[in-house]
Structure 1
Amino acid sequence: MATADLPGPDSLLRRTLGEWRIGLVAWRLLVLQTADPAVAAGMRGFSTYRAHPWRRIEHTMDSGKRLFFSDREGLRREVARLERTHRRLAGTDEQGRPFTASDPAVRVWVLVTLYECMTAMRELSGHPLTPPELEQMYGEFRAVCAEFALPDDLFPATAADVPAYMDRTIRERLEYGEPVRYLLFDMLREAPAPRRLGRLKPLWPVLRTTAAHVIGALTVADLPEPFRERFGLPRTRRAALLSFLLHRGMRVLTNALPEHRRYRTPPAGVPQNPQPSAGPSSRPVRLPAARRRKGTDSRPARLRTFFHQVLDQTGDGRIGAADLQAMAHNVCWPLELAAEREAPVYAAFESWWQQLRTGMDTDEDGQVTCEEFVTAMLTGIDSEPSYLDQGLHVAVRAVFHAVDTDGSGHLCADEYRKVFGGSRVHLAELNHGFRQLDHDGDGRITEDEFVRAFTDYFTARTDNTAGSQLLGRP
């Protein structure tokens, strides 16, 4: 299996997974994966899905592209990156049970559910794969999975064994916990507006209510029958009709489209060194500036905004080690750093967290609230000139060296755009941000300019300095 050829452009797997209509079963996939207790525990403790749902979904989709649409070198890079990430996701859940995202059984479940959802998409559309097609696609799928070096006996032996594997796992291991309920019924009702809405953003409060209702009903209707039976999720007639109309309608529409219009990800795959799109919510740092009254100290309001929109990655109103780890992850993700270049970034953010925890966690609960952060930050800045050197600057310098991919000692516009920008970020916004950092106007950002801009953001008492407007006009 380890030496099997990877699926190519004409493979059934790529053609199925790349279609736009795969989105109809995407939420179903998330629910099935999250129902595993270890996945749910990891999401509670480490995931940014509450505060940054669109970024989390975008990262998942990008990872899928790299796994199933790359050549072997790209596949191995992505597998290695996922393994480094998963090693950091471990602890105990709310019931005191130890968990780790590196558990082979958990990783196999996450992979097999993707294959199962592809087959479900075809079945729900009224055009199921034939037994030979199922075996063909399962073989292509296993050829990719072989790079994970997981025990073969944990996978279903053949495509025909997948339904029994799903049924057994659902009945013996899965749980209907708060993360699953949140995905099904609350996540979209609370999600911020996606960047792609553009001028339709004011309509998002209405649109998300409709979207939440439709996606929730569709997902419940499409979940495997054993899952619905075990956790008491009835498939109403209205939801069944919705599922029928959407899946059959999308199949007809897809078949009517020209070949090149059918696919979100073309079967030909992704470039050797893809640059994943990263909207503003997926940038590693986004320092927004709010409007304030003239003549007042703008630092408290700016620090509160920074806390809620940048530091609190998990969206629970507090920051802990997981939030700083998520920030490091979001620096490394678009850069596709090797392990030796990722390590200093994670170490720098851990160093910053230790400074925050030591000086701000007044009740010693292992977390820092917004007011603890603002009070301690202002006290430290005003009383000790080197305060930022001990935490923030360590992380900022690590970001600079990670972004400086050619080791030139400065950031050019392309390097800046790669980590702070993306296909959905307006060029004028990127240019404004670059100019804020490029103090001497030479078209390059030095490490000192980079650090100085972040320092100004934290220390300027007014919004008139360039640094106070970093990546966001007041």
Structure 2
Amino acid sequence: MVTADLPGPESLLRRTLGEWRIGLVAWRLLVLQNADPAVAAGVTSFSTYRAHPWRRIEHTMDSGKRLFFSDREGLRREVARLERTHRRLAGTDEQGRPFSASDPAVRVWVLVTLYESMTTMRELSGHPLTAPELEQMYGEFRAVCAEFELPDDLFPATAADVPAYVDRTIRERLEYGEPVRYLLFDMLREAPAPRRLGRLAPAWPLMRTVAAHVIEALTVADLPEAFRERFGLVRTRRAALLSFTLHRGMRVLMNVLPEHRRYRTPLTGNVAAPIPPIASGDPSSVPETGPVRLPAPRRRKGADARPVRLRAFFSQILDQTGDGHINSADLQAMAHNVCWPLELGPEQEAQVYAAFEVWWQQLRTGMDADEDGRVSCEEFVTAVLAGIDEGPAYLEQGLHVALRAVFHAVDTDGSGHLCADEYRTVFGGSRVHPAELNHGFRQVDHDGDGRITEDEFVQAFTDFFTARSDSTAGSQLLGRA
């Protein structure tokens, strides 16, 4: 089998996908993908987009960079990682239909919608690709898709066949379910402030209201006509004018910007491996400024601080899907978030997932009082307090198993301790303020030697769960009162 060359820095695909204005069709892309019943079921059962929308979007963008802006080795690593993730996303939807994220037809739809969105962006801007350009970009796109080893006959044969494929899929397979409705009308109205807003965060309630109206109108206006017709979505004159203005205006802006400002992803960059945000191994190199997340509510002096901390841990850490309960999917999402920035091999990744499954089985067995297959916040708090008051073995049988797996995964050089860079890689990222990383590292580094041993790592989380006051260092892992 002959392997086609991957698109290079000057390829039409990279130049189209890399422009900032691709964001204008991003929400439209999500709507089309989530309208597939299997995607919708996977999102409902496993996705963290309700509780952590910005992190979920960040992961999606990172994956796109690794797929379309990497060399072949980086591309293959990302394809393998996605395949391992998708194998875990299977089950039965609310109508009793089995679904799997590994279904080849579903994966082809998700991929082709990206190509279709790129061509739509160009068309809406008033500067559509010519027929030869469409074929060129489709060939570049298929060269990347070839690494997924999906059946060729599931893809449109040529660029000219893509519109008919999209139209047929919309009319025969797509559904207007809750994930689609939520994306269109509610998600941005409920989303927390992105951390990058900084001092503008107090204005977020007003900003998100305006953004929600604009994105809702723009998305409905830009969706394929077949989609709007089938699901009764109306393209108003005002929305059509908004679409015309934004797409044409952004095209003009992109054309006058210097190239390094025009592209959100460097065309020549190899982004196969993530780079820790700070290179120094000294935790003191992170500035001690700015707010720290999750400050604890005021309590009566001498009151037991554990219930408040455990509720914060439940809502901010455990409840990944944001539905007010935890189940196996929430613990899988936690394992995914550990593995994501580390690019672990299959065996190491499996060990992390297995450890979190052990923790979930302990939670389910000891906390699911009403036997509904999930654990509420109060069930969690009540059971944890009873367990830790009974003896230290309680944490060792669940939480500690997961923590030790996390430690060994993050200890990428096998040194037996975590340096500041390793800590930042898994607990940091663009969404976390540097001061939070600095504070968190210091809470775990008990002896202040600039590195964290496995025992220190486990002990810090033990203190968080067991300390009755907030004076113990580990009790402040999620923030300072």
TM-score after normalising by structure 1: 0.97
User: Following the alignment from structure 2 to structure 1, what is the Cα–Cα distance between the partners of residues 433 and 391?
Assistant: 38
Whole-Å separation in 1 of the counterparts to 2:392 and 2:179: 43
2:78 maps to: 78
* Residue pairs, 1:39-438, within 5 angstroms: 39-275=39-275, 288-293=294-299, 294-438=301-445
Query: Equivalent residue for 1:10?
Result: 10
Does the Cα contact within 8 Å between 1:287 and 1:310 map onto a contact in 2? no
Letter in 1 for 2:184: L
Aligned partner of residue 136 in structure 1, secondary structure: helix
Specify whether residues 244 and 125 from structure 1 end up closer, same or farther in structure 2 by C-alpha distance, changes over 3 A only: same
TM-superposed deviation, 1:292: 2.7
Whole-angstrom distance in 1 between the partners of 2:98 and 2:434: 46
- The CA deviation string for residues 262-299 of structure 1, in whole angstroms up to 9 with x for no partner, is 00001113344223879xxxxxxx99441332211010
The residue that corresponds to 1:31 in the other structure is 31
Whole-Å separation in 2 of the counterparts to 1:449 and 1:327? 21
AA at the equivalent of 2:308: A
Alignment of 1:441-460 (within 5 A): 441-460=448-467
Aligned mates of 2:68, 2:166 — CA distance in 1: 22
CA distance in 1, matches of 2:94, 2:396: 36
**1:355 to partner: Cα distance:** 0.2
Q: CA-to-partner distance for each residue in 1:92-148, whole Å, 9 max, x for gaps?
A: 001000000000000000000000000000000000000000000000000000000
| Structure 1 position 471, deviation (Å) | 4.2
8 A contact 2:46–2:329 mirrored in 1: yes
Kindly state the Cα deviation for residue 417 of structure 1 after the two structures are TM-superposed: 1.0
Instruction: Give 1:443 shift.
Output: 1.1
What amino acid sits opposite 1:254 in the alignment?
Answer: M
Structure 1 partner of 2:289: none
Verify the 8 A CA contact 1:2 1:147 in the aligned structure 2: no
Q: What is the deviation of 1:430?
A: 1.7
Q: Percent identity at matched positions?
A: 85
Q: Note the alpha carbon deviations across 1:15-48, whole angstroms, 9 max, x for none.
A: 0000000000000000000000000000000000
Q: Partner of 2:402: helix, strand, or coil?
A: helix
Where 2:238 maps in the other structure, the secondary structure is: helix
2:66·2:272 contact (CA, 8 Å) conserved in 1? no
CA RMSD of aligned residues (A): 1.4
Name the amino acid aligned to 1:134.
Answer: L
Q: Which residue does the alignment assign to 2:287?
A: none
Amino acid of the structure 2 residue aligned with 1:122: R
C-alpha separation between the residues in 2 aligned to 1:55 and 1:142?
28
Amino acid of the residue matched to residue 31 of structure 2?
V
Partner secondary structure for residue 99 of structure 1: strand
SS for the counterpart of 1:387 is helix
Contact 1:288 1:470 in 2 (8 A): no
- 1:441-473 Cα shifts (integer Å, max 9, x gaps): 111100000000000000010111100011411
Query: Distance in 2 between the 1:277 and 1:102 partners?
Result: 33
Cα distance in 2, alignment partners of residues 179 and 442 from structure 1: 48
Letter in 2 for 1:244: F
SS at match of 1:91: strand
Residue matched to 2:281: none
Deviations 1:163-186 (A, max 9, x none): 000000000000000110000000
Gaps (5+ residues) in structure 2?
279-291
Q: Report Cα offsets for 1:319-355 as digits up to 9, x if no partner.
A: 0000000000000001111111101100000000000
* Unmatched runs of 5 consecutive residues or more in structure 1: 279-285
Instruction: Find the aligned partners of 1:361 and 1:276 in 2 and give their Cα distance.
Output: 39
